[in-house]
A and B are shown apart, each in its own frame.
Chain A
């Protein structure tokens, strides 16, 4: 049992970061693309602005996730970034 637990303990943080990067990053980018709808411009322009910017958000999120000191901070950083975006997105929901 112990070697297995050891193994999990060693790989879990990396796995957690990978999940945070792939799915957390995408979720943040998607949220950002929706938040762009709150921009003061016509709907099609706001939609396109959100799409255009989303990949930069995604890439930035992935870099952050692996730059953070530990996996917990990586997730926390994503959540902190999500708060204002979620607020903006909420206003147009």
Chain B
């Protein structure tokens, strides 16, 4: 059993191996879900377009200045008295304009801190009339705050999981003495060795990315996780404003004067920003106290052309459109944070970089997945009675099935729900999400009730079938089947259809390989498991 006084022979590599395995296992299922939904989120805008098939393919980007004016007019009319609203202008990847606003104090919608949000049609300025859906944003939000719980809880859980991941990465590297030699080692068809080699190759190849994505993930929410310095040093209102200005381009509303003055043309302000940063490189337009004499409008720089999320914006007087300030730089620490933040989101990417992000992130997902599976593969060989494994083994084995194969089924089911749920359904967007979780729960029930191997195979085939048939479902239920989108050059729909088939093939291959696999079972050695970190010690490599 675990002796705390370690003999000198039991080196740091062994203790790090134990740390790696247990840190990885405890948060592995959450991390897998965060990794996979996060990976998909690199295409969240495209997925949102696919999930709103009523919105026509955007062959040409409309002039952002005109769009900004249209949406501003709409917001002025539809949310009068709002102390702040903000819109993200369309770019090549979005065909709708997302806007949110604070509801007017004392309005019917709720208290002072209440928010509203909607998607607008850039062509008409009206609210989008597409089916009610959260689109790709569901996966994006789920990957750092989950669902069915207050967002703050979810963010703390995600932070804890990310911290475990960081520890697992560092301890994994220390464990791994022959890190570069092993990268070129793959011993296929050899059970545990193959899993280990696959896990190593996936981890080492993507190591800089995995490390970056984990650390920057923590950075995105660092003010929540490490608030102590800020609480101690930032006390006055002025200091707080100075701090906020270092972090984002959201200008905060001051006290309204109560004197009504209409908002000056927003299009003119956006034009000035376009001259500075490029026609299609204007990101966000935020107005505070619009319609009041104290109104301010900030037009922020777009995300392409620089790897940083640090605020750069032009500030205008809302009533006259006069340029008050151009902000194009923050302090060095704030810029560092801006760069790390941008690296995590990858929004600066062009098409090729985006695909690289997606693929390496998918490898990260597979790294977590192979790690989880390896835990059971290693221990199965040492089970006293392989027919009746102990409860801990069974829990891990079944959770692995539902959280790996089951998640694929559930995520695809979410897309099926998007096409199949009736348009008039009340709370439709919420029902798409309920469907996702209901299917995920079913895969867990299935994993518990069926023999483990059968459950793996059946769920992988289910995911493959659902993915393979999704383009067919799309062709039947929308007027944008593959042949149509090919004719239009609509790469969002073409790409989604092809990606579904590629992922279906991947799941089919995994299902076939699992079905063919014959685990070699050895009788357990008499001493059995060697304690809490015991299994970890078998890492010794030939």
Contact = CB atoms under 8 A, between A and B. Distances in A.
A76 B18 CA distance: 21
B6 A66 contact: no
Given A10-B1, A70-B5, A46 B334 contact: no
Interface in A32-66: 33-34, 36-37, 41-52, 54-56, 58-60, 62-63, 66
Give the interface residue-count category, chain B. 35 or more
Nearest to A60: B170
Contacts of A46: 229, 233, 333
B228 A52 contact: no
Interface stretch (B126-134, B216-224, B492-500): B216-224
Given A43-B242, A43-B243, A51-B223, 5 more contacts: A44-B242, A44-B246, A45-B331, A47-B243, A66-B19
A79 to B, nearest CB: 18
Nearest to B246: A44
A50 B226 contact: yes
A60 B167 CA distance: 8
B22 to A, nearest CB: 9
Contacts of A29: 226
The list of the 6 closest CB pairs from A to B, nearest first, reads A13-B4, A48-B333, A45-B331, A45-B333, A50-B229, A51-B222
Contact of A45 (B12, B16, B332): B332
B337 A92 contact: no
B234 A47 contact: yes
Contacts of B12: 67
A45 B218 CA distance: 18
Contacts of B226: 29-30, 33, 50-51, 54-55
Contacts of B333: 41, 44-46, 48-49, 52
B288 to A, nearest CB: 21
A67 B233 CA distance: 34
Contacts of B2: 10-11, 13-14
Interface string B376-402: 000000000000000000000000000
Nearest to B5: A70
B245 to A, nearest CB: 8
B238 to A, nearest CB: 11
Nearest to A65: B19
A52 B166 CA distance: 14
Interface of A: 10-11, 13-14, 17, 29-30, 33-34, 36-37, 41-52, 54-56, 58-60, 62-63, 66-67, 69-71, 92-93
B1 A36 contact: no
B229 A71 contact: no
B233 to A, nearest CB: 5
Interface in B332-379: 332-334, 336-337, 340
B15 interface: yes
Contact of A55 (B215, B336, B337): B215
A62 B164 CA distance: 10
Residue among B6, B229, B332 with the highest chain A CB neighbour number at 10 A? B229
Of A37, A47, A58, A63, the most chain B CB neighbours within 10 A belong to A47
Nearest to B244: A44
Nearest to A49: B333
Contacts of B229: 33-34, 36-37, 46-47, 50-51
Contacts of A93: 232
Contacts of A44: 234, 239, 242-243, 246, 331, 333-334
B66 interface: no
Interface in B1-43: 1-2, 4-6, 12, 15-16, 18-19
B260 interface: no
A23 B337 CA distance: 25
Contact of B166 (A47, A55, A69, A70): A55
B438 interface: no
Among A46, A49, A55, A70: residue with most chain B CB under 10 A: A55
B55 interface: no
Nearest to A48: B333
B15 A92 contact: no
Contacts of B203: none
A30 B19 contact: no
B4 A71 contact: yes
25 contacts: A14-B2, A14-B4, A17-B4, A29-B226, A30-B226, A33-B229, A36-B229, A43-B234, A44-B234, A45-B331, A45-B333, A46-B333, A47-B233, A49-B333, A51-B226, A52-B219, A54-B226, A55-B163, A55-B215, A55-B218, A59-B163, A62-B167, A67-B12, A69-B6, A92-B232
